[in-house]
Structure 1
Amino acid sequence: MANNNIGSKRLVVGAHYGLRDWLAQRATAVVMALYTIILLVCFFTSTNFSYQGWAALFSHQWFRIATFVTLMALFFHAWIGVRDALMDYVKPVAVRLVLQVATILWLVGCAGYAAQILWRI
């Protein structure tokens, strides 16, 4: 009798990240799209396109929080993409680990710098 790997007795292997990562990237993309719409509405309804106009826009706490949440979504979106690319194309585990840690450190640094910029205005 032949080995039949089709159906309910099929051997499933792998990390099973696919659906979770796909949903996370779609959710972060929705957050970024909503922020883009908010930013476009603010841009098209504003008449003051100077530094003072942008500073006034970012002086609202809700806008700073929305910007920071969007940046966190962007960083998480980037992390998923970079991690998946590294898992697919970098086969030596040590090299992949170093690149993943470097990516995490870079993204955490970007998040800290973004917070510093947003709350310095």
Structure 2
Amino acid sequence: MIILSNSGMKSGLREWILQRFTAIYIGFYFLFLFFSLKLNGEVNYLVFSNLFSCFYFKVFSILFVFSLVLHSSIGIGIIVTDYIKGTFSRVFLDFLINFVLLSYVFFIMQILWGFK
């Protein structure tokens, strides 16, 4: 019988599954955005404004941003742990990248929801 421990050893299965689910959601979001813009014909400010004024589209867009940040955080985190050998450099770079990604989330929420 194999006993799995949570003491520092990660198999990466959870990250692998999360990356696949976020990739699927990102793909569906882009397909939906492409077809909804394609069906409207001409793409201009009014079309974008009407599309992003819908509450449900704002929610789906925020979920897209969270999926994109989670997907990129996992991917960049794996690259950083594979190629950056110094512990301090690796932790600092990982912190810096996650800080930048979270700031993107807050800026996009301000744009979509109009927070002041």
Length-normalised TM-score, structure 1: 0.83
What residue in structure 2 maps to residue 11 of structure 1? none
Q: Which amino acid aligns with 1:78?
A: S
Deviation string 1:7-51 (CA, Å, 9 cap, x unpaired) is x7xxxxx72232111111101001101111211220121134221
- SS at 1:69's partner residue? helix
- Quick one: which of 84, 90, 108 aligns to 1:90? 84
What residue in structure 2 maps to residue 42 of structure 1? 36
- The CA distance in 1 between the partners of 2:15 and 2:31, in whole Å, is 24
C-alpha deviation, 1:89, in angstroms: 1.1
Which has more helix, going by share of residues? 2
RMSD between superposed Cα atoms in Å: 1.4
Q: What are the within-5 Å matches in structure 2 for residues 37-116 of structure 1? A: 37-116=31-110
List structure 1 segments (4+ residues) > 4 angstroms apart after TM superposition: none
- The CA distance in 2 between the partners of 1:104 and 1:50, in whole Å, is 33
C-alpha deviation, 1:69, in angstroms: 0.4
Segments of 5+ residues of structure 1 without an aligned counterpart are: 1-7, 9-13
Percentage identity across paired residues of the two chains? 28
Question: How many correspondences in the alignment?
Answer: 108
Which structure has the larger Rg?
1
- The CA distance in 1 between the partners of 2:105 and 2:68, in whole Å, is 10
- The CA distance in 1 between the partners of 2:88 and 2:49, in whole Å, is 45
Segments of 5+ residues of structure 2 without an aligned counterpart are: 3-7
- The CA distance in 2 between the partners of 1:17 and 1:81, in whole Å, is 15
- The CA distance in 1 between the partners of 2:69 and 2:50, in whole Å, is 26
